């Protein structure tokens, strides 16, 4: 009888732990498509085009140096915005369509283009990135 109680207690404990762990798992986020940005030889700017839907973001990685000035402009008929994250995780721009500023560090900068989450519509966009000394 003692063995039965021990097994029952273990099963109950296992069920409780499983339920707690399941409840603490966050909802799955959407997909992120990551592309490396390379400027054409002799050019300081580039224009990127894409189409976003809810649940998918586009991430653009580009290497830049401290002291350079980066300008980013997003054109879209929908509610698309972007966020810029610096090499050490510092947010430089958050949920905007235009940004310009001096870069604080050497390394990769991530421009995360985010869809409007209130609709399932597909929105085309144009992203212009310029880097100058």
Within a domain: residue 17?
no
In this structure, how many other beta carbons lie within 10 angstroms of the beta carbon of residue 4? 8
Within a domain: residue 11?
no
Can you give the residue range of the structural domain that contains 71? 31-132
Number of domains observed in the structure of the chain: 1
User: In sequence order, what are the beta bridge partners of 113?
Assistant: 58, 82
Residue 7 is predicted with a pLDDT of 63
Task: Quickly state the pLDDT bin for 15 (edges 50, 70, 90).
Answer: very low
Calculate what percentage of the chain has a pLDDT beyond 70.
78
Within a domain: residue 66?
yes
Within a domain: residue 15?
no
Give the pLDDT confidence of 73-119 residue by residue, as tens digits.
999 988 899 999 999 999 999 999 999 999 999 999 999 999 988 88
Within a domain: residue 56?
yes
Largest Cα–Cα separation, the chain: 82
Q: Which domain CATH number covers 81?
A: 2.60.120.380
């Amino acid at each position: 009888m003692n063995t039965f109680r021990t097994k029952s207690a273990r099963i109950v404990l296992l069920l409780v732990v499983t339920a707690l762990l399941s409840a603490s798992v966050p909802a799955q986020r959407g997909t992120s498509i990551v592309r490396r940005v390379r400027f054409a030889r002799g050019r300081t700017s580039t224009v990127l085009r894409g189409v976003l839907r809810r649940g998918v973001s586009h991430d653009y990685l580009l290497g830049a140096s401290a002291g350079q000035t980066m300008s980013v402009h997003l054109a879209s008929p929908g509610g698309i915005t972007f966020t810029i994250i610096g090499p050490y995780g510092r947010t430089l721009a958050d949920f905007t369509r235009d940004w310009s500023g001096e870069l604080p560090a050497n390394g990769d900068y991530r421009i995360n283009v985010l869809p409007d989450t209130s609709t399932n519509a597909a929105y085309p966009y144009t992203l212009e990135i310029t880097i100058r000394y």
